[in-house]
Amino acid sequence: MALSSSTAARASFAVGVARRRCGATGTRPLVTRSSTRTVVTAAAVVEGAHIVWLRAGDLRTHDHPALTAAAAMADRKVLPVFVFDPEECELCTPATVLVIHEAVAELRGTLRDMGSDLAVLIGDPVVELPKLANAVGATTVTAQVCLEWPRLSSYRKTRDALEAVHVRCDEWSASLRQLTDEGVAAAAGAARAARATRGAPLCAHRTEASFVAACGAVAPPLPKPTSLPGIPDAAATKEGEATEEGEATEEGEVSATRGGGVCADGGGGGGLLGELPSLDTVRSWAGLADNDTDAAYDDAVAAAYVALNDPALTRRRKGVSSVDNAFLMFSGEKMLALAAEEASVAIPVVPFRLPGGESAALDFFGGFLDFYTATSNKEHRRMYDRVLEDKPGAFFRLFGTAMALGTISPRHVVATAREWEVKARRATDLCASAKGIAEARDYQQAVAAAALAAGAEGPGLPLVGAYNIISGAL
C-alpha cells in the first residue's frame, strides 16, 4: 500500500490504524485520503479474487469505501463475506443480535441486486476466513479498522491468519473529518509522548472542539455502487455440484460452527456462500440480557401474537354482522356490551422499533428529519411517538444501534441533515441532535485510534464500535 508519510499519519491518528499486512506480492490497492474523502482505489495489476470482510459496524452499501473500491475491480472476482461468530455474539443482547440478523439478511439481498452476493459463514473468523480465501483463490481482503477492545484480539488473530496463507489484509475507515497536517503532527507527537512518559495524555485533543479545529471540512458520503464484479466461480458452485476439476464440493467445507456442522439451524445447500442461521439460533448466542425497553418490546410482541391467535378474536371477526359495522342506533346497553366485547379481544399495541436493515435506517432517518412536517406515513407517525418521549435524546435512542452496526453512515447523517436544512430553509433541534451525535462519534473514534496508536489497550479505553451501544455509549 503506497502511502505518503503525511497520509500514513492520517491513517494512524485521524481515522484509525490503517495498517497493511504484507502477505502477497504485486501492486497493492491504494488508500488515498484527502481533506474531504477517504477512497480505496483498485490496483492496476491483476491479482486473485478479493474478499470484502463485512462486520457489525459497516453493514451497509452506501458510503462504504471497501465496496466502492471493489466496484472498480473490473478484472477481478469479488466476494463480500459476513461471519456469524457465536463467541462474539456473547458480547450482545438478544435485541442487538436481532438487528444484526435483519441487517445481514437485507444486505445479502441488496448485494445480489448489485450482481454480487454475500457469503455467510458461521464460526471463528480466524479459521473460516483463511479457509474461504483459499477455497476461492483470494489474495486480498479489506476490512474496517477495529477500534473495539473486546473484538481486537479476534480481529488481529484473523488478520495474522490471513497473512499466514499469503493473503494481504488492508484496513479502511470513513471518518467524518480528516486531520490537517498540523493536526497530524500533533497527534503523532502525543502518541510518542504517551509511549515514552507514563501518565501522558493519549490524545492531542482534550475536547471535541479542539479536535474539530485541527480538522478539515466534513467529508461527503460515498454513493452506493451501482454494481459489483461477479463472485468467484468456486463460491458460485453449490454443494454437491461438480467443480471445474470434476470433484464435488464438500458439505460444510466453510460454514462450520465452532461446535461443528454446516449451519447452526441445520440448513445447507448454500455451498461456500452458506446460509443464514435462524433468528432463534443467533439470539441464543447472546450473552447479555436485554434492557428494560427491549424486554418490554418482546413482551408486547408476544402479547400481540397471543391476541391475534385468540379464538375469541377470530370468532368476533367472522361473526360481525353488517348491522354492527353500520353504526346503527342501538340501546345504551347494546353499545356497552359491544365495547366490552371488543376490549376483551383487543390486540396490544407494539411500540415502534427500528428494523435492522440499511433501507429502514435510511428511510426512517428521512422521516425523523420530517418530524415537524405533516405526513400520512403511519410507520413514521409511530416513530414520532418515541420522539415525543424525549426529543433531545431521540436520535440516539432511535438510531444509535443503526450507527453502531453501520447500517447508516455518520457522513450520511450529517450530509442529509444539512441538505434538509437548506431545502426547508430552517434548522431544527432534531437536525442539530443528529449532527451532534455523528460529530461526537467521530471525535470518540479519533480518541480511540490515538489510544491504540500510543499502545494503550484495555477495557477502560473509550473504544468505539458496534458493541459499545449495549452500554449506551456511541
pLDDT of residue 164: 97
Residue 109 DSSP label:
H
How do strand 30-33 and strand 38-41 relate by DSSP bridges? antiparallel
C-alpha neighbours within 13 Å on the C-beta side of residue 329 = 0
Q: Are 53 and 132 found together in one domain? A: yes
Helix (H, G, I), strand (E, B) or coil at 346: coil
321: which residues sit within 8 A by CB, 6+ positions away? none
Q: Is residue 383 part of a domain?
A: no
How do strand 119-122 and strand 78-84 relate by DSSP bridges? parallel
> How many Å apart are CA 388 and CA 7, to the nearest integer?
44
Q: Are 243 and 137 found together in one domain? A: yes
Sheet holding 49-54, edge to edge: 119-122, 78-84, 49-54, 138-144, 168-172
Q: Are 86 and 123 found together in one domain? A: yes
Among candidate residues 303, 320, 344, the one where a domain is terminated: 344
pLDDT of residue 208: 87
Task: State which residues form the domain around 302.
Answer: 292-344
> How many Å apart are CA 302 and CA 422, to the nearest integer?
43
Q: Are 273 and 168 found together in one domain? A: yes
pLDDT tens for the 474 residues of the chain, in order: 333 333 333 333 333 334 444 344 333 333 443 333 444 544 444 489 999 999 999 999 999 999 999 999 999 999 999 999 999 999 889 999 999 999 999 999 999 999 999 999 999 999 999 999 999 999 999 999 998 888 889 999 999 999 999 999 999 999 998 877 777 777 777 777 777 777 777 787 888 888 888 888 999 999 999 999 999 998 886 644 444 434 444 433 333 344 433 343 333 346 899 999 999 999 999 998 998 888 888 888 888 777 777 776 666 655 554 444 544 445 555 656 656 555 555 666 788 999 999 999 999 999 999 999 988 899 999 999 999 999 999 999 999 999 989 999 999 999 999 999 999 999 999 999 999 999 988 888 888 888 888 887 765 555 555 445 434 444
Residue 87 Cα to chain centre, angstroms: 18
- Work out whether the CA dihedral 228, 229, 235, 240 comes out positive or negative: positive
Q: Is residue 269 part of a domain?
A: yes
Q: Is residue 270 part of a domain?
A: yes
> How many Å apart are CA 175 and CA 45, to the nearest integer?
28
How do strand 49-54 and strand 78-84 relate by DSSP bridges? parallel
Among candidate residues 285, 311, 331, the one where a domain is terminated: 285
Grid cell for residue 28: 497493492
> How many Å apart are CA 89 and CA 97, to the nearest integer?
7
132: which residues sit within 8 A by CB, 6+ positions away? 51, 79, 81, 119, 121, 138, 254, 272
Domain total in the chain: 2
Q: Are 296 and 281 found together in one domain? A: no
Q: Are 279 and 338 found together in one domain? A: no
φ/ψ of 87, rounded to 5, equals -70, -35
Q: Is residue 253 part of a domain?
A: yes
Q: Are 160 and 91 found together in one domain? A: yes
Among candidate residues 246, 263, 285, the one where a domain is terminated: 285
Q: Are 331 and 231 found together in one domain? A: no
Closest CA to 382 of 300, 303, 307: 300
Q: Contact, 10 vs 181, CB < 8 A? A: no
Q: Are 162 and 304 found together in one domain? A: no
Angle at 149 between CA 356 and CA 125, to 5 degrees: 65
Q: Is residue 135 part of a domain?
A: yes
Q: Are 272 and 314 found together in one domain? A: no
Q: Is residue 446 part of a domain?
A: no
Question: Whole-prediction pTM value?
Answer: 0.78
Q: In a 10 Å sphere around its CB, with 0-12 CB exposed, 13-18 middle and 19+ buried, how is residue 418 labelled?
A: middle
Q: Are 271 and 328 found together in one domain? A: no
> How many Å apart are CA 117 and CA 135, to the nearest integer?
16
Grid cell for residue 323: 348491522
Angle at 180 between CA 176 and CA 181, to 5 degrees: 145
Q: Are 172 and 297 found together in one domain? A: no
Q: Is residue 210 part of a domain?
A: no
pLDDT of residue 349: 78
Q: Is residue 378 part of a domain?
A: no
pLDDT of residue 302: 84
CATH code for position 227: 3.40.50.620
> How many Å apart are CA 62 and CA 332, to the nearest integer?
59
Closest CA to 183 of 215, 225, 139: 215
